[in-house]
Structure 1
Amino acid sequence: MTASTPTGPAVPVAPSVSTQIHLASRPTGWPTPENFRTVRVDLPDLTPGQVRVANTFVSVDPYMRGRMNDVKSYVPPFAVGEAMTGGAVGEVVASTAESLPVGTTVLHQQGWRDVAQGDAAGFTAVTPVPGVADSAFLGVLGMTGLTAWVGLTTIASLRPGDTVFVSGAAGAVGSAVGQIARLLGAKRVIGSAGSAEKVRLLTERYGFDAAFNYQDAPVREQLPTHAPDGIDVYFDNVGGDHLEAALDVLNRDGRVALCGAISQYNTTEKTPGPDNMANLVKQGLTLRGFTVGFHLDQAGEYREKMGPWLRDGDVVTDETVIDGIDRAVDGFLAMMRGENVGKMVIRTR
C-alpha cells in the first residue's frame, strides 16, 4: 500500500493489521487444520524503542510440533488461543528505535504472522547477501545451518577420515550436515531419505557418497550395505529404527548427535527403545542430545565458515516455498509429511 504526497513520490504505509496463526487446540497424534485458527489483529501504535516489521519469510520446523503439546521441554509450549512463534525475516516498516531504522532487514522469532511488532531488542539486524534470498537467514545462514555445524563439531566431535551417517538427510538440517561433514574432511557420508527422488538429490546434488530410501526395506538391513566398515558419527534427525540401525554399525568410540526424533513426534503411544543399547558399553559409544539455542555463541564462527562456502558453491541449498501466511498451516503439515526438499518456508509478501 502506498500514499501520495503533493510534493514527492509515493511512500510506503506501514500495515496496521497483522494476520496471525493461532493454536486453536492441542493436537492428538498428527495435527490437522482444525488445530489452528487464522486471526487478524489490529496493532497498537508504537511506543518508544519499538519497531513494526513486515515479514518476508517465516519458518516452519519439525520442533514446532513438540511445542504444541502441553509438556515440559527446553522451551515453553505454545499457548492455546495465542499466536505461535518461530523464526522470521522481514523489513522494518515503522520504527521509534534509532538502532533499527525503517528499511532495515531483521531476523526475529515472531513468525506465524505477516506483520510483527515489539521492542527493538527482540529483532536482530542482518545484512542481505547479494544474489541470496533473505530466506537463507532462516536456513543455511541461520539456525538450520548452525544446528548442523554444532551437531557435527561440538556434539559429535567430527574428525577427518570419519564415516558419517545422517538420517532425514534431504531435509534442511540433514542436507547441510552432509555437505559440512564433507568439507570438514569426512571420508564417507551416507544419508537416508523417504523417496527415490530425494535419494538422487543426496548423491547427485548434495555430494553424499551413498544414500538409501528407508521406505524400500528396514533401515537395519540397508545401512550395513552402505557402511561395510561401520560408521564413526551418526547425526540423528529421526530416532526410532534409524537410531537402532546406527547402534548396530557404530565403530569403537563412535559418537551420536541426537538432534531430533521426527519418527515419534506424532505418536500417541510410547515408543519402545532400541533393543541394542548394550552396544554403548561394548563399543564405548557416546550419545549426546542438543538444541541449538544453547550454542548461539558459535554463530559468528559458523557464518565466517559458511559465507565463503555458499558464495563459492561448495555448499548448495534448496527451499520449498509456500506463498501466503494463510497457507502456513498447509506448509507446516506438508513439511511434517516429508513433502519438502530442503528448508520449508512461507513467503508472506
Structure 2
Amino acid sequence: MALPSATREIRLAAVPKGLPGPEHFAVVTQPVTAPGPGQVVVRNQYFLVFPGLRTLIGGQVEGIPLPPIHAGDVLFGPAVGEVVAAGSGSPLRPGDAVTHLLGWREHTLLAADQCTPIGDVLPDPVAHLSSGAAAYGALTRFAEIRPGDTVFVTGAAGAVGTLAGPVARLLGAGRVIGSTRSPAKADRLRTELGYDAVVVPGSPSATLAGQLREAAPEGIDVLVDTVGGEHLTVALMAARRGARFALVGALSGQLSPDGGGGSAPADIDSYRVITHGIALRGYSGVDHPGVAEEWATRFGSWLRSGEIAFPQVRIPGIERAPRALQELFEGRHFGTVVVELPPQ
C-alpha cells in the first residue's frame, strides 16, 4: 500500500468559553511520515465522537487517565482503521485492521503496541467503538442485576444508554425505564429498544420525580446513571431498599455551558442512602480491565443472534467532525456517533 503524501487532522484552534462549536476547531493538512522501527501508519476508517472531549478541552482532567487538549493540539479518541505501512520489527502488517486512541485524523503514525488487532469477535468493525462496555461493566460488576429488577437508565438515548437498557433486559431485569429530553427519542426507546417506560425531563405536564413515580410505583432496584445532577437526586428518592447505583457518566456537567465539563453537582440525601442501604459507586473501565474483552464476546454473540441492536449515526467526512461534536452536545443524535472516513 502506497502512503499518501498528506493527510488531514482536526485541531483545537481556540479554547472556548463554554461549549465548543465548529468555530473552535480547524481542519489542518499535514505530511504523512513513514513508520520507523516498531511503528505503523494507520488509515482511520471510523472514529468516535464522545462528550468526554468537553472535559479534556476544558482542562479538568484530575482523576482521568487522559491528557488535556490545549489550543493547537490534535483531538483524539477511539478509532478503527487499517494498517497501511509498517516499520521493521512491527508485529502488524499492511492490511491488518486495528483499534487505537488516535482518531480525529485521516492517518496516524504510532507505535504498533498502541494498536489492538481486530479479530472476528464482532460482526461489524464499527461495533468496536460502542460504549457498551461501560454499561455492561456497571450492570455486572456493581449493579449485579437480579431477576425481576426494575432498572432506571438516565440519558437512555445516548451511546451508553441505548445499550444499557437492552443489556439489563438480557441480564434478567423485569422492567427497564429510561430518561431522555426528547419525546421523539422516548418513542424510539420504547418501540426500537424495548424500554417499558421513558421519562422526559422538562415535560410541561409532570416533574421528573412525578414521572418516575408513575413509571416505577414500587421504586427502582438499579440505576445506571450517565447524567448526574437532578437525575441522580430523583433516582435516590425512588430507590428501594438495597438498591444498587452505578454512576458511569456526568452529562449534566459536560453538556452545561458553564464550567469546564469536570463537575456535575447533585443533591444527595445521605439519610436516605443510609436508611435504605443504597450502594452508590462510580464505575470506571480502567479499574476493570477484563470487562472489555468479556463485553466484546457477549456483544458479538448478541448481535449475531439479533438479541441486541447497536444504534448508531455515521457522519461522513472529517470536515464534518466539528459539527458532529456540536450536534452531540445539542442532543440531536440517537445512539453512538461516529465519523466515517471514505477510502483514499
Task: Measure, in 1, the Cα distance between the counterparts of 2:71 and 2:270.
Answer: 38
Quickly say closer, same or farther: Cα 1:294–1:26, change in 2 above 3 A: farther
Task: Measure, in 2, the Cα distance between the counterparts of 1:156 and 1:190.
Answer: 15
Task: Measure, in 1, the Cα distance between the counterparts of 2:268 and 2:288.
Answer: 32
Aligned length: 333
Matched, 1:268 2:268: no
Question: 1:43 — aligned with what?
Answer: 32
2:277 is aligned, of 284, 291, 300, to: 284
The CA deviation at 1:320 is 0.9
Matched, 1:18 2:18: no
> Per the alignment, in what secondary structure is the counterpart of residue 37 of structure 1?
strand
Give the conservation status (yes or no) of the 8 Å contact 1:220–1:244. Answer: no
1:345 is aligned, of 335, 338, 343, to: 338
Matched, 1:124 2:84: no
Task: Measure, in 2, the Cα distance between the counterparts of 1:341 and 1:28.
Answer: 26
Question: 2:240 — aligned with what?
Answer: 251
Question: 2:303 — aligned with what?
Answer: 310
Ranked by relative contact order (alpha carbons within 8 Å, sequence separation 6 or more), the top structure is: 2
| Residues 30-54 of structure 1: per-residue CA shift (max 9 Å, x gap) | 2122322221111222111111111
The CA deviation at 1:275 is 5.5
1:211 is aligned, of 176, 192, 198, to: 198
| Residues 246-298 of structure 1: per-residue CA shift (max 9 Å, x gap) | 01110111111111111112342686531633211121111111222332222
Sequence identity (%): 38
Structure 2's unaligned 5+ residue stretches are none
| Residues 199-253 of structure 1: per-residue CA shift (max 9 Å, x gap) | 1111111111111222314311211100011001111111111111101110111
The one-letter code matched in structure 2 to 1:107 is T
2:137 is aligned, of 126, 133, 150, to: 150
Matched, 1:31 2:20: yes
Matched, 1:64 2:53: yes
> Per the alignment, in what secondary structure is the counterpart of residue 155 of structure 2?
coil
Quickly say closer, same or farther: Cα 1:27–1:73, change in 2 above 3 A: farther
Task: Measure, in 1, the Cα distance between the counterparts of 2:312 and 2:182.
Answer: 17
More moved, 176-185 vs 29-38 = 29-38
Q: 1:174-213 alignment to 2 at 5 Å?
A: 174-213=161-200
2:42 is aligned, of 24, 38, 53, to: 53
The one-letter code matched in structure 2 to 1:16 is S
Matched, 1:99 2:86: no
After TM superposition, the score normalised by the length of structure 2 is 0.92
More moved, 229-238 vs 260-269 = 260-269
The one-letter code matched in structure 2 to 1:13 is A
More moved, 32-41 vs 88-97 = 32-41
> Per the alignment, in what secondary structure is the counterpart of residue 193 of structure 2?
coil
Task: Measure, in 2, the Cα distance between the counterparts of 1:290 and 1:32.
Answer: 29
